Structures are given as structure tokens and as C-alpha cells.
Amino acid sequence: MISIFDPHRSKINLNQSEQNEIYSRSNPVQKRFKNKFMIWFYSQFIASNKHPLAKWYLKSDKAIFCEVERHVYSDFWFIIHPFSNFNLIYTILMTPLSFYLLFINTFSGAFHYDIARCMSCLLFPDDLSDKFKALIDQEIPAFNKYLEFVMVLVWHVFANSSNPLRTDIVLQHGKIFMEKVKIFQGISVQVIKSIVSRLTLEIYLPNDMIIKSGDYGSSMFFIGVGTVAVFTQSGKEVAHYEDGDHFGELNFVFQDVKLKENVIAVAYCEIFRLESRHYKETIERAPELRKKLEEHALRRLDMILLEEQRQYQN
């Protein structure tokens, strides 16, 4: 291995990627500034809860968060979202301009009519209009090249944003949801990022069955919006879970064990699912979070078994 401070380093031919890697390692401040700038820049083109129509159309902050996640990880991430900050600012600027142009044309039409009446009295060189057209034809290609340069720059920034950077963007827009999930409190940001990037949103209507007792569970659930009821196998209601709660972790803690509870939606619910195949990539690598899940699972299992025992005794 050759040290960066080796006096003979200048004799070695480094390719561009190696030079960039050494430069980024030696300039951590600039690297952090670049990531923050790219997150801010990218955030202007995706859905935002600051847009007045976003909550009216998507109904909740959780739905906006899911729309951001869908947009960022889709094949069409480069498209400007209609509920983005950029689109909002563009609309605010262009609306008064459009009205201005609409009304000014009425007055300018009369002005040009008066000018046209006086044209016969004015003497212009014959080639003046030709020179003016030539000037326009000369300037338009330069303007087109500028627009092409801007589009290539935007494409390059978006195309070279890594998946971790996109996950940062999703996490930044999902802070409201993340703060409500009680089990995530005190857990490192990196663990939460790995979980967030693998969540999928599901919508449940009242009386929809989410978990059925007797089945082998394959997922864990986080409630974004709504309320669910927990029933024992005998039909006894034992608990209610609301925003920020989780359930379905029994299968993660006790493998190949049939579920002991029925979970049914009481109201309209937006629920995030984490499949068991992602368990090893996320929760199993976080001992603190895994310990919390085990404690919750044991308490809930004891509660369900105790309630069933009471039912049989009666």
C-alpha cells in the first residue's frame, strides 16, 4: 500500500476515480456540503407537504412520504413532481406573468396599430428587418446550448446520486412518521434508514383482516395512520394499536410459530409492512432494536395467552 504522503506518489499515474476518492477523503467538509446540497437540490423536484394541493390530494403526511419514496426509487426519478417546491414556485411566478401578458396584449395591440398607421411616414433601411432576423437566428442557438447544458447538468446530478443519498431524501421527508414510531426512539439513524428503504405501504379499510391467527406470519407492521384491534383465537378483544404502534413481530422473534392473534382494522389505516426476508438485513444487525422487539413480543404473547387461559377457565 502506498501512502498518500509518499514523495514518489507523483510518479504514479492515477485515474480520475482514484483522484476523486483521495480528494473526497481528504476533504470531508466539502463532501458533507456536497451531500447536503444534493439532498436540498433533489428535494425541490419531489413531492413536498408545503405544496397546498399535496395534503388535499394525498390526504396525509404518510401518503406524501410514500409518494416521495415511490418517486425517488422509480425509473422516472428525473421527472418534476406536480406537488414539488419547484412546481409551486414556478406556478407562483408564472401565474401573474400570464395575466400580465394577457392584459398587456390588449393595450399593446392598440399601440402597434397606431405604429402601423405611422409606418408609411417613417423611413427605415430596407435591410433593417433582415439584420434583425439574422441577429435572432444567431442568438437562439446559443440559448439552446445553454438550456442543453443546464439539462445535462441536472441529469448528471440526479443520475450520480447514490441509493444511500436517495434514502436520505426519503428519510428526511418521512421524519414525521419516524418520530411517531415508538420502537424507533433511541435507535441509530443508520438502522432506521435501512428499515425505511425497505418498507411498503398498504391501505386497509374498516373490518379488513390484517393478521389471521393460525397462519405463519411473514411480516411486521408499523401503523402510520389509523387504529387496529387485536383479538384472541376465541374472539376476545384484548388491545388496540394506533399511530406509531407496531405488531406482527412474533414471527421475527419466534420463528416457525403460528400466530396467536387476529388483527383487524377498526378505521381507515395506512400501514407500513416490513417483510421477514429483510429482517436479517435490518433488525438482526441492530442488537438494541432486536432486544426491544423481543421484550415487546414476550409481553404481548403473555397477554394473549393469559387472556385465553381466563376464557377457558370461565
- Model pLDDT for residues 224-252, shown as the tens digit of each residue: 888 999 888 778 888 888 888 888 887 77
Please report, for residues 81, 120, 241, 300, the alpha-carbon distance to residue 62 in angstroms, rounded to integers and kept in the order given.
17, 67, 17, 26
pLDDT bucket at 299, cuts 50 / 70 / 90: confident
Name the more confident of 192 and 178: 192
* Contact in structure between 199 and 274 (CB atoms under 8 Å): yes
pLDDT band at 106 (very low <50, low <70, confident <90, very high): low
Q: What average pLDDT does the chain have?
A: 72
How many angstroms separate the CA atoms of 186 and 119, rounded? 79
Residues 6+ apart with CB under 8 A from 238: 230, 231, 232, 261, 303, 304, 307
The residue extents of the domains of the chain are: 24-121, 124-160, 171-312
- pTM of the full predicted structure? 0.48
Residue 147 has pLDDT above 70, yes or no: no
> Which amino acid is located at 52 in the chain?
P
Question: What would the mean pLDDT of 272-291 be, rounded to a whole number?
Answer: 79
Least confident of 28-32, 187-191, 242-246: 28-32
Please state at what angle helix 163-173 crosses helix 189-196, rounded to 10 degrees. 100
* CA proximity to 250, closest of 281, 211, 223, 192: 211
CA distance 147 to 168: 29
**285 grid coordinates:** 444487525
Give the Å distances, CA to CA, from 158 to 28, 66, 83, 143, 245: 21, 20, 18, 23, 35
Cell of 202: 398498504
- Choosing among 3.40.605.10, 1.10.4190.10, 2.160.10.10, 2.60.120.10, the CATH entry for 171-312 is 2.60.120.10
Tell me the CA end-to-end span of the chain in Å, nearest whole number: 75
pLDDT tens-digit readout, 42-83: 788 888 878 888 878 777 777 777 888 887 777 777 788 888
- The answer to which of 59-68, 215-224, 250-259 has the lowest mean pLDDT is 250-259
